[in-house]
Amino acid sequence: MAAPGGLSAPAPPRGHAATAIRPFRMADLPAVAALRRRAFARSERTRPGALEAYLERMFLGHPFAEAGIASLVAEDAAGRVVGFQGVVPARMWYGARPLIAAVGTQLMVAPEARGLTGRALARALFDGPQDLTLSDVANDAARRLWEGLGGAPVPWLAESWTLALRPWRHRANRRVIAGAGRLARAALYGARPALAVADRLAARPATLPAGLRFAPLDADAMAAAADRLLGDYPLRPRYDAPELRWRLHQAAEKREFGALEGAMVLGEEGVTGWFLYYRNDAGECEVVQGVAARRDEATLLEALAAHAWARGGVALTGRLGPSLLGPLAARRATLCHEGPSVVCQSRDAAIRGAVARGELWLSRLDGEWWMSF
């Protein structure tokens, strides 16, 4: 069974292995949608035609096409689609040098063609004209595949953090998740008044730092401020307003983690930063992105906590960035190593060195984590 970014690899039966890798095109939509339904146990898009429409939008209709960078399909000798590698271009900077990245997603292979087909698709992805190739939800099989083809994991981006805002409710939520039973959920509902009292005694309300205010997300203002805010990171996204607007719109459709929340943070001199997070019905919040100058990351974390607290947030969970350890430690956040790997590949030694030195800034919005297949 395939998983996001990965696959198992028994030897393929004779006659079904892929014989050609070519760019994905509109006519492939029904076959790729059918392949995904076979390869993945679940989908967020179950209505007839919904998955096909989303595949078209993500891989053929995005607003930042780059020459030579396309999703890929594998065909067998009979011309049947037996494999797929989704690719979404992303623009980046390395210092003042513009780069093109390719985000690989949804690597999947028909059961009868597993084996060399997945490796051939990954190799074809790496051979594209992009400067950097990345995936941020690679399972162990995908990570090993990438490493075998010259890619490397980004260790610090495999770490996650959790900041409890209402610690007693958060502990109760974790017990319900572990129990996953109707009685556990009913017990939590009945205990909410007592847990609220305990949290009022155990935790201070999160407040917005003085001199700052929230404003609605605005793609134009965010794009205009991005280079100033992220300029301390040599390897970073190169945003423009249409791309950001598209990403925000698509991310809002993902419902696995709840409703998408977010705000810009404004100070006396304009945009100080912004953040995005999903908040579910239990108040658990998954951070998608937090953008601020390196010197202001602690302030942004306080603003994020204040925003989530005011909306009933119980805890914030996010991906560790290179300079977040200090602010998180000050707030007594917990760290853990869990979930999928972030893996990168580049033919450029300077880019590989920048990744290895921790000079890459990458949020969940810049990879495939937020996509809602």
Q: In the structure encoding, which two tokens stand for residue 17, read together?
A: 């292995």
Structure tokens at 331: 């707030």
pLDDT-derived band at 11 (thresholds 50, 70, 90) equals: very low
Q: What pLDDT score does 205 carry?
A: 79
- Alpha-helical (H) ranges within the chain are 29-39, 50-59, 116-126, 140-148, 167-179, 182-202, 219-230, 241-251, 297-310, 325-330, 349-356
**Number of Cβ within a 10 Å radius of residue 370:** 26
User: What's the pLDDT tens digit per position in 38-87?
Assistant: 988 788 888 889 999 999 999 998 888 888 899 999 999 999 999 999 99
Confidence of residue 193 (pLDDT cuts 50, 70, 90): low
| More confident: 195 or 306 | 306
Which has the closest alpha carbon to 366: 88, 74, 3?
88
Confidence of residue 170 (pLDDT cuts 50, 70, 90): confident
Q: What is the mean pLDDT of residues 295-320?
A: 95
Q: What would you report as the CA-atom Rg of the chain, rounded to the nearest whole angstrom?
A: 21
Per-residue pLDDT at 1: 36
Query: How far, in Å, CA of 101 to CA of 69, rounded?
Result: 9
pLDDT tens track for 91-112: 999 999 999 999 999 999 998 8
Q: Is the pLDDT confidence value at 134 over 50?
A: yes
CA distance linking residue 148 with residue 330, whole number of Å? 39
Q: What is the pLDDT of residues 339-352, one digit of tens each?
A: 688 999 999 999 99
Inter-residue contact 121 to 83 (CB < 8 Å): yes
Q: What share of the chain is helix, strand, coil (3-state, %, to 5)?
A: 40, 25, 35
Note the pTM of the prediction, 2 decimals: 0.87
**Residue 197 phi, psi dihedral angles, 5° rounding:** -65, -45
Q: Supply angle C-alpha 180, 183, 185, rounded to 5.
A: 60
The C-alpha torsion from 354 through 357 and 359 to 365, rounded to 10°, is: 90
Residue 201: predicted pLDDT: 55
Cβ distance 266 to 216 under 8 Å? no
Q: Mean pLDDT, to the nearest integer, of 208-226?
A: 97
| Contact between residue 342 and residue 157 where contact means Cβ atoms under 8 Å apart | yes
User: Rounded to whole angstroms, how far apart are CA atoms 234 and 92?
Assistant: 10
| Cβ-Cβ contacts under 8 Å for 370 (sequence gap 6 or more) | 247, 250, 251, 254, 288, 364
Residue 187 pLDDT > 70: no
Asked which of 4-18, 135-149, 292-306 is least confident by mean pLDDT, the reply is 4-18
Per-chain mean pLDDT for the chain: 88
User: Does residue 66 contact residue 100 with C-beta atoms inside 8 Å?
Assistant: yes
Closest Cα to residue 291, out of 234, 240, 226?
226
